[in-house]
Amino acid sequence: MADAENPPVPTELVAGKYRLTRLVGRGGMGSVWEGVHDTLGTRVAIKFIEREYVDSPEARSRFENEARAAAKLGSKHVVRVFDHGLMGDGRPYIVMEFLEGEPLDQRLDRLGRLGAQDTARIVLQVCRGLANAHSAGIVHRDLKPENVFLVWDAEDQSDVVKIVDFGVAKFVDSASGMSSATRTGSVLGTPFFMSPEQARGLRGVDHRSDLWSVGVITYRCLVGQLPFEGEAVGDLLVKICTAPLPVPSALAPDVPPGFDAWFTRALAREPNERFSNAAELAQALMATCGLTPPASSLGGPVSPVVTSTAGTAIPASLRTTERAVPGMTASGVTTQSAGTAVQRKPAALIAMVLGVMVLLLIGIIAVVKFSRSGGAAESAPPSSEPGANTQPALAAPAAAPAATSAGPLSTQSAQAPSVQPVQAAAPSASAEMAAPKRAALTPKPQATAESSLSSPQKPRVKPKSGQAKSKEAIDVGY
């Protein structure tokens, strides 16, 4: 005998090819049946609007939105839609893939809580589906454990997450021709998982409202309870909008380090302070739980997270490498490769060698000049010609330091009155004019200070072998 839980199975083929087999479930405005393709034998799920809501424009609009939204998305983490139409009695239907498994809420009821990494893997797949929907301009607005279906994949030995029920989805893309069936002040969705802007009925709800809902689902999985509860819907909505956020680690000390900060950001009441997109939210949670997702697994370009040996998430853009690579670093500073620095070392070495060689060359030139000046002074014989110019020549002062090596001659040289005035006196104008003429003529042997104070026949004393000439010989003579 048929009853409300086991109604008779309709015999009419859906879309002329799907045969109904059994009732799977019934919701607020519709029911879901298991069906089989009449010729291929493929299992499908077929959803109907209940008869009492067939004439409701809002119910029909939501039903059509669900069909079009799911059909528009090509993600494997969103339930696939194969067909959509009307039955003979005017009831709309949707033919979808048949999901064999359990919704997340049933697993949580059975287990109470989930482990951190299991939760992160589920949230990652939810965010993959959301990233696909958000990029298509679709906001789900009713994310909750009941709408997160877990399908067991025997090949991969893991759960595959499917997002279902886009009935109250909002379509941001007006060009799509789909209505979101939203009026300012209306509250759509399940209160426990609503964002503050959604609870207030604001019209500007965007994809960040879904991110809030994901944060609540994650909290429920790790802590084992909901962050906000109330005796009535109004009381619950006030808490969502104004009550302080709970601290997860205070209720569940075994949550991963850093989850408190992640939860605080996920449930920031100001949408601009939340994670900017689903990829960023999932990436941060995976890192917090000790996992690193592939960069391409979130449906868009994301900055990959690298987990250090201490388990701390480090953005790859801030990770240092053993060898610098030319280009801009994360701080905006241009770096150069180690090869460039190595190539500069020979250049610096060559410059240093050239500098030393130049210094040596200067020293050699000075020594040669010094040697020549000394030889000229030593070979200059004293003049004995009558009427010879007794004024010291330019080379005359050089003989004075040479004479200092002999005892008596050094005294005589120091008392010579004709040497000191020439050294100290500034040149006169006549001297400046006569200087070029004297330089052009071949100088005659002139009497030195030594010859003016001693016998013309007395030879000049040479410095002993190995004795260095004084520094004044260079400074004064040349």
* Residue-wise burial string across 247-264, b where 16 or more C-beta atoms lie within 10 A, e elsewhere: ebbeeeeebbebbbebbe
Q: 166 vs 469, which has greater pLDDT?
A: 166
Question: What is the C-alpha to C-alpha distance for residues 450 and 396, in angstroms, rounded to an integer?
Answer: 9
Residues 140, 125, 119: CA angle, nearest 5 degrees: 105
Closest CA to 196 of 269, 140, 264: 269
Q: Is the separation of the CB atoms in 448 and 380 below 8 Å?
A: yes
The pLDDT of residue 213:
97
Q: What is the pTM of this model?
A: 0.61
The pLDDT tens digits for 41-78 are 999 999 998 888 888 888 888 888 888 888 888 889 99
**Ramachandran bin of 312, using left for φ above 0, alpha for ψ from -120 to 50, beta for the remaining angles:** beta
Nearest residue to 372 via CA among 229, 221, 231, 473: 473
Helix (H) or strand (E) holding 228: none
Mean pLDDT of the chain: 72
Q: Which of 187, 207, 213 is nearest to 198 (CA)?
A: 187
Work out the pLDDT band at 300, boundaries 50, 70, 90.
very low
The yes-or-no verdict on residue 307 having pLDDT over 80 is no
Q: What SS3 class is residue 345? A: helix
The set of catalytic residues is 142
Which of 53-57, 160-164, 303-307, 356-360 is the most confident on average?
Answer: 160-164
pLDDT for residue 327 is more than 90: no
Asked whether the CA dihedral 67, 73, 74, 79 is positive or negative, the reply is negative
How big is the chain by its Cα radius of gyration, in Å? 50
Q: How confident is the model at residue 122 (pLDDT cuts 50, 70, 90)?
A: very high
Dig out the tokens for 277 from the structure.
């997109």
pLDDT one-digit tens code per residue, 373-429: 554 444 444 444 444 444 444 444 444 444 344 443 343 433 444 444 444 444 444
pLDDT of res. 319:
36
Region 123-133: what's the mean pLDDT?
Answer: 96
Helix (H), strand (E), coil (C) string for 116-159: HHHHHHHHHHHHHHHHHHHHCCEECCCCCHHHEEEEEECCCCEE
Q: Which helix (H) or strand (E) holds 391?
A: none
pLDDT bin (cut points 50, 70, 90) of residue 175 is: low
pLDDT of residue 249: 96
133-161: pLDDT as tens digits: 999 999 999 999 999 999 999 888 899 99
Give the lowest-confidence range in 110-114, 165-169, 259-263, 312-316.
312-316
